[in-house]
Amino acid sequence: MVTNHGHLYCCQNAMDSEVSVLLKTTNIHQVQSEQMLENKTGFWVVDQRPMRVEQMMFTDEMHRELENLQDNKLKRVAIIGSRGVGKTLFAQASAGFQGLVLKISELENTPIQHAEAIILKGIDHQPNAEILRIAERAEKTILIAQEDISERTGESNSFHAVNLEELMPKNQKSFEKIKNYLLGVLEQNQIQFQVGDLQFQLNIEELFDKLWPNMRQIVRQTQMRAKTGEWVPIPV
């Protein structure tokens, strides 16, 4: 990550704010309508946020785990991983993009009885009893955490833990997945690069090497480097 450019800090803070606003909605279809009908934020990480599994960057391991979650109809799941790896998006996919995404601080003022699933963020430091109390209120509960909280809740009430970073190995298959995904993002923004373009290849290799599995930062860096149609060298 660039730490000595004030402009980048500004962009990141603005993008984080936009993502937070989008995730507060009670209906994922409302998110889609707002994106399409109101205005674009100008940030690819928001404007090109996937609305279907087919639009997502999935490794083979992520696909298999998603199928496991859906086939077994698991009601209590904890998605674990560092910031930016795509925990919330994976949680939304596991809920068929019908989940209600909330910060735990917003829960008391939000009706959840009709939600197909609730996806809770900001639970890392919540007491065990509070986590279980929340889970009992919903048909399906998906927790978003940076640490494994599955064992804290007790054996009989444990959550199925999914460590997302373990499903994102740093190998050639993952590199090909992210390369093709970024080609699609560039194309959506009317920026055309051929897969064999040397500068495209070198830039994606560097971002993969230094930032993987932080998908958010990879997309941000790709936008900053390529938005003019030419690759601009920006330190990572």
Domain ranges of the chain: 6-55+169-226, 60-167
Q: How confident is the model at residue 37 (pLDDT cuts 50, 70, 90)?
A: very low
**Res 108: pLDDT:** 74
Q: Over the Cα atoms of the chain, what is R_g?
A: 18
> What CA–CA distances, in Å, run from 168 to 29, 81, 174, 175, 192?
28, 11, 7, 10, 27
CATH architecture of 60-167: 3-Layer(aba) Sandwich (3.40)
Task: Cite the beta strand spans of 84-204 per DSSP E.
Answer: 100-103, 118-121, 141-145, 160-163
Residue-wise pLDDT tens digits, 61-89: 999 999 999 898 888 999 999 999 999 99
3-state secondary structure of 200: helix
**Res 44: pLDDT:** 93
Please list, residue by residue across 178-203, b when 16 or more beta carbons sit within 10 angstroms of its beta carbon and e when fewer do.
Answer: bbebbbebbeebebebeeeeeebeeb
Q: How confident is the model at residue 153 (pLDDT cuts 50, 70, 90)?
A: low
**Res 11: pLDDT:** 47
Give me the chain's average pLDDT, please.
Answer: 81
Instruction: Indicate the pTM of the whole model.
Output: 0.78
d(CA 95, CA 67): 11
User: What is the pLDDT averaged over residues 185-203?
Assistant: 87
**Res 131: pLDDT:** 77
